[in-house]
Chain A
Amino acid sequence: MNRLYRATLGVALCAAGAGSALAGELTIATVNNGHMVEMQKLSTKFEAANPDISLNWVILEEGVLRSRVTTDITTKGGQFDVMTIGMYEAPIWGARGWLEPLDFGADYDVNDVLPAMRGGLSHDGTLYAAPFYGESSMIMYRKDLVDAAGMSIDDNPTWDHIRDVAASLHDPGNEVYGICLRGKPGWGDNIAFITTMANSFGAQWFNEDWTPALDSEAWNKAVNFYVDLLTTYGPPGSEGNSFNEILALINAGKCGMWIDATIAASFVTDPGQSMVADKMAFAQAPYAVTKKGANWPWAWALAVPAGTKQAEDAKSFIEWATSKSYIELVASVNGWGNVPTGTRQSTYDNPMFQEAATFDEAELKAILSANPNDSTLNPSPYVGVQFAAIPEFQAIGIAVGQQMTAALAGDITVEDALKNAQDAADREMRKAGYY
């Protein structure tokens, strides 16, 4: 029995030892996006140039990634040396000292990083995460259908005009729907889109004293417009649709218009996955009373958790993966049409990229116009366009998103949904001690 006990203990200790990171071994947590997958493939070049560093990849579903990296960083679990995080987490975690400040050499040319990305990933002027690829939101539409309907979409359309275009494109008998928009509940799903829409109607999440403002007239108008537009001219089952569901619909030729992340432009124009690749055109996100906050900025960025024993190696990797030379490396392997976009001005200045990407102008314009520090018509106390960069927002966004979906599904009225949303936000803010 003693032998069995010793053997078991020995095995356990060996296995436990195997769990701790070895020197020069970086564990990178990331999501399964095309650009990230490409980075994983090309990282052999980094390992060849840095023989003392080896890379372990942990690819996670987005929701799982968020909970895993949050758990890891708050408990100082030390499972990851490089984390893929978004614009929501970077300033909050940076302010709490959970991330290592990023300071790269002159070759990195930090000023080449688009200001919206740099600003959104910083706190008090310190960069805490480096953007790997960035995006905004814009209109992607079927130019052939719009032309055939005798309509047009200018570069800065209003929501009223978009509604008219949706009406003219809507042909449910042939399974073509006027407009496809996110309806699935979630702070990163329907709330991201609805917030930009509400911003353009003059709404905001919080008043200057941090009381929730979901009971405002502007929110009421925006959500009524959204529900009416999508229930009248949207596809059936919109309350279950988010990015991927709509991407499948539009690639199958079933949506006249789609307002969503600019990254989708590269998918809907790819003949390998879209049946309407040569029929797509782009415009800026629509507005109602203001263009402020009508489109979001977002970035998937790489950060180093404070407390990792491999901080310098991790920073070296991030410097490589978010550099100009990495973008050139991707271009040399896959062509300029497939480089990670939305991060550097030099990418958009490159004539080869301009030629390869038909959406480059619209995407850059959208990213440059998104300002997280000034996203609402009236002054607001928070930073962020499609979210408020406070820790409480995630819970509030989820609760409000569920109410919006219920209204879209017709389970409750818009007025009741907004009242419930206001109550939920108020509870959360009171609990957190804002007032």
Chain B
Amino acid sequence: MMMTDRQRELLKHRIRAALAWVIACLMFFPILWMILTSFKTELQAIAVPPLFFFEPTIENYVLIEERTDYLRYAWNSVVTSFGGTLLGMLIAIPSAYAMAFNPSRRTKDILLWMLSTKMLPAVGVMMPIYLICQKLGLLDTRVALIVIYALINLPVIMLILFNYFRDIPKEILEASQIDGTSTFNEIVQIVLPLAWGGIASTALLSIVLLWNEAFWSIVLTSADAGTLVALVASFSSPEGLFWAKLSAVSTLACAPIIVFGWVTQKQLVQGLTFGAVK
């Protein structure tokens, strides 16, 4: 029996939806496994074949509560990821404005060069940055992390904002310039409202990236400014089984950002797919 065009379209749609579900399930499986493992004993966590059904225990969460100050680490994660994003945006917005509306012959080269710094292995600049922080008395402080976080994310947020700003018609800015608007007011009163959606999604993306940043958090903090990533790293053990406990602390570290991502998913997707359908 021949399929009608409508039936063919419906079938295609269903196949695409099924494929999307399969991919989504595959991507979510590690998170599900982490959550399941967090409710196992260490013996259950290493069982072969792996256990999907077991008697759950909250002993790993109790141990984390006993051993660590989770809220302090979580607060440090919030302050540094939001702080780093805010500082990064304060630098990136005027810079992206200048590049988008007053481009020079070298603008694209500069953007490419900025982006290329993301390819530099962080460990390559570890000692200079460590020594600078030490000399300034900034080791184990949130200020050091905020400044470094802002700088490491700057190339990415600059590039995204640059692309958003380029979509704003130049004529609008020219009209305001004829009215005598200052550059500062032009950014605040015209560019920001017009690009607000893009700025918000860029900020959200930056927050997610910084929440997961591990290298500098582990290298530069000790007792006071450690983030949730540093807390997770502390649960790895050279001698002794730790998978269940590590899964529990990882679940706790991921939970806030997963909730945050869920609430802001529309804007986040917009940020992640910027320029993809141009």
Bound state CA distance, A62 and B234, in angstroms? 9
Tell me whether A40 and B241 are in contact in the complex, defined as CB-CB below 8 angstroms, given that A75-B134, A77-B130 are known contacts: no
Contacts of B173 in A (CB 8 A): none
Tell me if A59 counts as interface (CB < 8 A to partner B): yes
Bound state CA distance, A78 and B137, in angstroms? 10
CB-based nearest A residue for B130: A71
Interface residues in B, total, Cβ within 8 A: 38
Tell me whether A79 and B140 are in contact in the complex, defined as CB-CB below 8 angstroms, given that A19-B224, A57-B223 are known contacts: yes
Tell me if A15 counts as interface (CB < 8 A to partner B): yes
Stretch of A95-103, A246-254, A404-412 lying at the B interface: A246-254
Is B48 in contact with A252, judged by CB distance below 8 angstroms?
Answer: yes
Q: Which residue of A16, A80, A175 contacts B143 across the interface (Cβ within 8 Å)?
A: A16
Bound state CA distance, A61 and B234, in angstroms? 5
Tell me if A377 counts as interface (CB < 8 A to partner B): no
> Could you say which of B222, B237, B242 has the most chain A C-beta atoms within 10 Å of its C-beta?
B222
Contacts of A59 in B (CB 8 A): 234-235
Interface of A is mostly: mixed
Is A18 in contact with B224, judged by CB distance below 8 angstroms?
Answer: yes
Q: Mark B213-227, 1 if CB is under 8 A from A, else 0.
A: 000001100111110
Bound state CA distance, A273 and B43, in angstroms? 5
Q: Mark A180-198, 1 if CB is under 8 A from B, else 0.
A: 0000000010000000000
Stretch of A107-115, A261-269, A359-367 lying at the B interface: A261-269
Contacts of A29 in B (CB 8 A): 222
Bound state CA distance, A195 and B89, in angstroms? 54
Tell me whether A17 and B137 are in contact in the complex, defined as CB-CB below 8 angstroms, given that A37-B67, A60-B234, A252-B48 are known contacts: yes
Contacts of B138 in A (CB 8 A): 15-16, 19
Is A15 in contact with B141, judged by CB distance below 8 angstroms?
Answer: yes
Contacts of A12 in B (CB 8 A): 143
Is A261 in contact with B43, judged by CB distance below 8 angstroms?
Answer: no
Is B46 in contact with A252, judged by CB distance below 8 angstroms?
Answer: yes
CB-based nearest B residue for A26: B223
Q: How far is the CB of A233 from chain B (nearest CB, A)?
A: 19
Contacts of A77 in B (CB 8 A): 130, 134, 139
Bound state CA distance, A261 and B237, in angstroms? 14
Tell me if B180 counts as interface (CB < 8 A to partner A): no
Tell me if A244 counts as interface (CB < 8 A to partner B): yes
Q: Which residue of B67, B139, B140, B223 contacts A40 across the interface (Cβ within 8 Å)?
A: B67
Q: Which residue of A32, A33, A275 contacts B43 across the interface (Cβ within 8 Å)?
A: A275
Contacts of A15 in B (CB 8 A): 138, 141-143
Is A64 in contact with B240, judged by CB distance below 8 angstroms?
Answer: no
Is A16 in contact with B141, judged by CB distance below 8 angstroms?
Answer: yes
Tell me if A68 counts as interface (CB < 8 A to partner B): yes
Bound state CA distance, A77 and B137, in angstroms? 9
Tell me if A371 counts as interface (CB < 8 A to partner B): no
Bound state CA distance, A274 and B41, in angstroms? 11
Tell me whether A263 and B141 are in contact in the complex, defined as CB-CB below 8 angstroms, given that A57-B223, A59-B234, A252-B46 are known contacts: no
Interface residues of A in 19-66 (CB under 8 A from B): 19-20, 27, 29, 31-34, 37, 40-41, 56-62, 64
Q: Which residue of B46, B143, B238 contacts A31 across the interface (Cβ within 8 Å)?
A: B238
Is B223 in contact with A64, judged by CB distance below 8 angstroms?
Answer: no
Q: How far is the CB of B57 from chain A (nearest CB, A)?
A: 12
Is B47 in contact with A19, judged by CB distance below 8 angstroms?
Answer: no
Tell me if B233 counts as interface (CB < 8 A to partner A): yes
Given contacts A56-B223, A71-B219, 10 further A-B contacts (CB under 8 A): A33-B238, A34-B239, A37-B67, A58-B222, A59-B235, A79-B140, A244-B239, A244-B241, A248-B241, A252-B46
13 contacts between A and B (CB under 8 A): A12-B143, A15-B138, A31-B237, A33-B239, A33-B240, A34-B237, A34-B240, A62-B238, A77-B130, A244-B237, A248-B46, A254-B48, A273-B43
**A binding-site residues for B, Cβ under 8 Å:** 11-12, 15-20, 27, 29, 31-34, 37, 40-41, 56-62, 64, 68, 71, 75, 77-80, 175, 188, 243-244, 247-248, 251-252, 254, 261, 263-264, 267, 272-275
